[in-house]
Chain A
Amino acid sequence: MEYALIPLLPFAAFLILGIFGHWIKDRAHLVAVPAVLVSFILSVITFMDVASGRHTSIPLYTWATSGDLRIELGLYVDRLTAVMLLLVTIVSSLVHVYTIGYMEGERGYARFFAYVALFTFSMLMLVMADNFLQLFIFWEAVGLCSYLLIGHWYERPSACSAATKAFIVNRVGDFGFLLGLLLVYLTFGSLEYRQVFAQAPDLAQEAFNLLRPFGGQWEVSTLTLICLLLFMGAVGKSAQVPLHVWLPDAMEGPTPISALIHAATMVTAGVFMVARFAPLYSLSPVAMDVVAITGAATMVLGATIALTQFDIKRIVAWSTVSQLGYMMMACGLGAYAAGIYHLLTHGAFKALLFLGCGSVIIALHHEQDMRRMGGLKDKMPVTYWTFVVGSLALAGFPLTAGFFSKDEVLVSAWSAGALGELLASLGLATALLTAFYSFRLVFVTFWGDSRVDPHHAGHVHEPSRTMTVPLLILAALSIATGYLGIPGFLSPAFPGSGSEGHHDSPIAFGIMAIATLMGLVGIAVAYLLYVKSPGLPDRLAQQWQQLYRLSLNKWYVDEAYDRTVVGPTIRLADRLWNSVDVAVIDGAVNGVARTIAWGGWLMRFIQSGQTQHYALGMTLGAVLILTVYLLF
């Protein structure tokens, strides 16, 4: 079974489209779509291979050796990898097909497919990595693709800023990741998963002196330090607090990539990483607590902000931030299988929601503000109904995949000690908020009277089949993935710490009931506010003005960063530019030129044009030479 083909086919598509895109133009999908579809089929075969117990580890290529350090590329395929492969290839294939309709006629058609293919390749290699460095290389690569794709419409300054913001915020996290990687090599002497995980239990007591270069003494557990540093990378990549700020702005990119990158795949790389390194994390309770609390904070923050936004893509983006928090919280509490399970189901229904938004946006000629929507459910039935299915899954409505996965997370969280009970309660409260904002979106966008711009109101219609079929498939997946027994499939892949939820206990049943209740109450409140009494939301906003504004302005995090980090950095850069670059460096370079020109000016006077002066020079020269000759 040629596992290497899975990432290589999209890479080949990227190369072809990158080099020949200028001539391929509108037929780019003929290159990209088959490549990723074949990858998908191979992923299914891989899944079946792994399910029958075959784990594989294939070294591919030795990049460099230096003394004891061997840098290799290799593939490691186990259960976690297999499900991630499926997720990435399914969502990528569906997004590829959807893009045929969404980006039809655009100038950058081939370029878009090329970058999406590159992204798919990078994500697949990341997921199949068998050593830390390879993970990091493709971690950066997906960040690069995210930058390229967010800035796809590069004539728009807002898109360029958003792309730069995403990349820089990611880099902050990656700085921590790189430090963690170096510490791993220092501690374990190797960067390969197998060797590191094998040695980990023995090195659990190792300590690291943080103040050694300063001659001081502050010992911390090396493993905890490693886990925390690696987690910094996850905080950036998976948009956890405080590095979540790039994700809503990333909505500047085309909707298909919001679905692929910022819902189902790239942002999940951080959660995947924590799960992949579960053998390390489970040896460091401190790190796991940090992960769990960060996840919970993100979960709450995302949900509270999504309540008041008006741009439909931003609502879904903040929802993604919140759900990523759920997944991270689950992993932090030891429920890795539950976290990944939610990652998979979320990939399905969140991609569905984004693609549904895209469908609406296209139908209304690039309108994204839901205050100018309404009354669409009869005009766009397929979009409407699939959107409802996705929202139900997000809200955790019974029988949807989202219900099962969210339940799995909450039950496993509850049985993880006191912290688990606290965070699970927060999770239940957030479930209410989640259901509320999801159906706020549904009711305001699709129900009621049409507030659409009269210009376009006449020809609002369902988009083409290349866009509706992926919606239908994802809707089916949003339900079906709940019944595939994923948590059972995944738990052997993780060090079990007794956090497989005891599903038959009364507590588990109680949590399921409360979660369902929260979901239904959320939907009911949304119905009350946006269908029954439409004046009520504004009155509530007036009454709770402080809180409303806090939510609407995203808790002023961007403004805080601007004041504390961005502003001073720009001012410092400005000052350095003026006092160093212009004054010193330009001064030196220009100064050299000026000096030489001045020397030339001096020398010019020798050329007087007077023959007798030249004759004098010759005479003096001859006398000088003769003197020297006679004396020496």
Chain B
Amino acid sequence: MIPLSYYVILSAIVFITGVVGVLIRRNIIIILLSIELMLNATNINFVAFSSYFQNVVGQVFVFFALTVAAAEVAVGLAIIIALYRSKTTINVDEFQLLKW
């Protein structure tokens, strides 16, 4: 068997990649992608534990999470399009209206 810790570490690496992507990338679409990465990392975690404890609840939860992720992507893309229409850019650095 593959030890549980391998899966958890994999999940952590993917999650951290997602977080760093959200914090650093300038392209809004890439940020949205990174958010998806974070969500999928947690899904990996759920499945790994579900297999380890032979409990199907973990896998069931993944369904919910995936559904939510899909809905959220739809909304996110709609927001990005609205932003693009307002400012013709997808560079996050240029949205500074809330600056002091």
Contacts and interface: CB of A to CB of B under 8 A. Distances in A.
Interface stretch (B48-56, B65-73, B90-98): B90-98
Interface in B72-88: none
Given A610-B93, A612-B92, A619 B99 contact: no
Given A616-B23, A619-B23, A611 B92 contact: yes
Interface residues of B, number: 13
Q: Is the interface of A mostly helix, strand, loop or mixed?
A: helix
Interface in B5-64: 19, 22-24, 31
Nearest to B95: A611
Nearest to B98: A609
B44 to A, nearest CB: 19
A156 interface: no
Nearest to B22: A615
A604 interface: yes
Give the interface centre of A607, A608, A612, A616 by most chain B CB atoms within 10 Å: A612
B93 A607 contact: no
Contact of B100 (A607, A611, A615, A619): A607
B22 A609 contact: no
A409 to B, nearest CB: 86
Contact of A604 (B31, B96, B100): B100
Contacts of A615: 22-23
Interface size class of A (residues with CB under 8 A): 10 to 19
B82 to A, nearest CB: 15
B23 A612 contact: yes
Contacts of A619: 19, 23
A615 B20 CA distance: 10
Contacts of A607: 98-100
Contacts of B96: 608-610
A609 B99 contact: yes
Contacts of B97: 609
A607 B98 CA distance: 7
Interface in A309-331: none
A619 B20 CA distance: 10
Interface in A590-632: 604-605, 607-612, 615-616, 619
Give the interface centre of B19, B31, B95, B100 by most chain A CB atoms within 10 Å: B100
B18 to A, nearest CB: 11
Contact of A608 (B19, B22, B23, B99): B99
Nearest to B97: A609
A469 B44 CA distance: 116
A612 B21 CA distance: 10
B23 A609 contact: no
A189 B8 CA distance: 92
Contacts of B95: 609-611
Interface in A341-398: none
Contacts of A611: 92, 95
Contacts of A604: 100
Nearest to B31: A612
Contacts of A609: 95-100
Nearest to B26: A612
Interface in A520-575: none
Interface in A88-138: none
A616 B21 CA distance: 11
28 contacts: A604-B100, A605-B100, A607-B99, A607-B100, A608-B96, A608-B99, A609-B95, A609-B96, A609-B97, A609-B98, A609-B99, A609-B100, A610-B92, A610-B93, A610-B95, A610-B96, A610-B99, A611-B92, A611-B95, A612-B22, A612-B24, A612-B31, A612-B92, A615-B22, A615-B23, A616-B23, A619-B19, A619-B23
Interface of A: 604-605, 607-612, 615-616, 619
The 6 A-B pairs of least Cβ separation, nearest first, read A609-B99, A609-B96, A607-B100, A609-B98, A604-B100, A616-B23
